[in-house]
Structure 1
């Protein structure tokens, strides 16, 4: 048991963090006050010039835009290398992320900052927790970084792997399209998936 905890501490910490955050949103009212305060601050400190910048950040996590890119890159590599490995990695990562986020969103049924209820399990049709855009910004770009491991230098791969998730977090929260805790939940969930994929040996230094 000690060895398991030592080897899996990062994944366990992320999963625990997500569970604790979700529970706190249900039973700890001050956290909802933080969400409201962050939304109001962003609304009051978002100059017109910043709006399109934040929209651009948010679009980095738009599945309809980034997933086709991932699949095209994976498909080209699969043909060139004559192996289904790259395509399998892209498809599995996309499927797991999409299903996991969608199930959690519908289960928690939380509204958006400017329409719907801030309460969890409200039955609101606007399902916002956790942020799928933020999770996408971690999972899809981590896959891209691996697929392009033979093309990009190490620093570029690290930027591709980690920068989009942070930018999407800033964009969607700054626009008040998601509550702050939606974005935190999406980041925890996305990072957990990246670590689990790496654990399965998919993210080796040589790529798929």
Structure 2
């Protein structure tokens, strides 16, 4: 199997993303960047009128992991039926496993409260909401880093973009490349801005989610879905489904 190409090409960019994520985590673990996080959260709290808050809350649903997972799974099944290719189900399954094994464990391990933890349960002092590794808190109050909304948005909209193109081709329609780019880029950016603006995550949480999401997305984008070995029993559902690399 030959890996599919990604842009920028090569593994150096993956290493750069990983190094940036590790560096950001180390910086926060040693008490750095708290001033930036606090200043951003305070500014957002002071510029959050009701209309803007509700708009941001609605737009933030673009990053809800469970609906995106179900949507991608349903789309994968639909493509599989239309093309008689079980391969179309593989991207949602692999994406689910990959996000499940990375985002959640990182949240539990880093144990960071959200900015809102000072104004609602568990009502921590503002300074105590910033540090990582607060394992003395219940898990539900310390799962802010990295932002799962942002990471999920990058991964799942990438999967959706991969599946929409072959589905529309079965109806004789083509997807403009610019539209694919919009689907991949715009929702994650909206989620990053809204989740930070609403005080549900620190700015560095959102940046960490961005780095992790991009890394996972590049791993998924490399998989040669049409060439993955499948059992002989699926030979009648073994057709390629992806567009050209």
Aligned-partner SS, 2:50: coil
Structure 1: where are the runs of 5+ without partners? 1-5
Per-residue Cα deviation, 1:74-115 (whole angstroms, up to 9, x for no partner)? 110011111211111111112211221001000001101021
Identify which of 217, 221, 230 aligns with 1:198: 221
Asked if 1:172 corresponds to 2:184, the answer is no
Q: Is contact 2:225-2:242 (8 Å) kept?
A: no
**Residue 154 of structure 1: CA displacement?**
1.2
Aligned-partner SS, 2:63: coil
1:66 aligns with: 68
**Residue 53 of structure 1: CA displacement?**
1.4
1:114 aligns with: 116
Q: Is contact 1:18-1:189 (8 Å) kept?
A: yes
Asked if 1:7 corresponds to 2:10, the answer is yes
Q: 1:202 to 1:173 in 2, by over 3 A?
A: farther
**Residue 57 of structure 1: CA displacement?**
2.1
Aligned-partner SS, 1:148: helix
- Aligned pairs for 1:1-208 (under 5 A) are 7-29=10-32, 31-115=33-117, 117-123=129-135, 124=137, 125=139, 126=141, 127-150=143-166, 151=168, 152-202=175-225, 206=243
Count of residue pairs the alignment pairs up: 202
- Find the aligned partners of 1:202 and 1:53 in 2 and give their Cα distance: 38
Q: Is contact 1:149-1:207 (8 Å) kept?
A: no
Return the index of the structure with the highest Cα Rg: 2
Structure 2: where are the runs of 5+ without partners? 1-8, 118-123, 169-174, 227-240
TM-score by length of 2: 0.78
- Find the aligned partners of 1:91 and 1:207 in 2 and give their Cα distance: 21
Q: Is contact 1:108-1:121 (8 Å) kept?
A: yes
